[in-house]
Amino acid sequence: MQALVGDRLHVHSRVVGVEERLGEILEVRGREGAPPYLVRFVDGHEGLVYPGPDCLVESRSNS
């Protein structure tokens, strides 16, 4: 998985009744765009994310 600052991280829910999460990548801490990513989610929460198979990076150029 590769990302740039400003890209969006979309975390798909794998549990019924749990909403999907969308956040903006604020910082890329891995080498050459690799995780982990510092992400600010739409609810204002910020956290360090190691994306799993339920995550998708949406390029800021596609917005």
> pLDDT tens digits, the chain, 63 residues: what are they?
899 999 999 998 777 777 889 999 999 999 999 999 999 999 999 999 999 889 999 998 755
**Residue from 33, 41, 36 nearest 59 by CA:** 33
What is the pLDDT at residue 18? Answer: 73
Q: Which two tokens stand for residue 39?
A: 């992400």
The CA-atom distances, in angstroms, between 62 and each of 13, 30, 35, 48, 50 are 22, 22, 20, 23, 22
What is the pLDDT at residue 56? Answer: 92
User: What pTM was computed for the model?
Assistant: 0.85
Whole-number Å distance between alpha carbons of 38 and 26: 5
| Cα angle 48, 50, 55; round to 5 | 115
What is the pLDDT at residue 61? Answer: 75
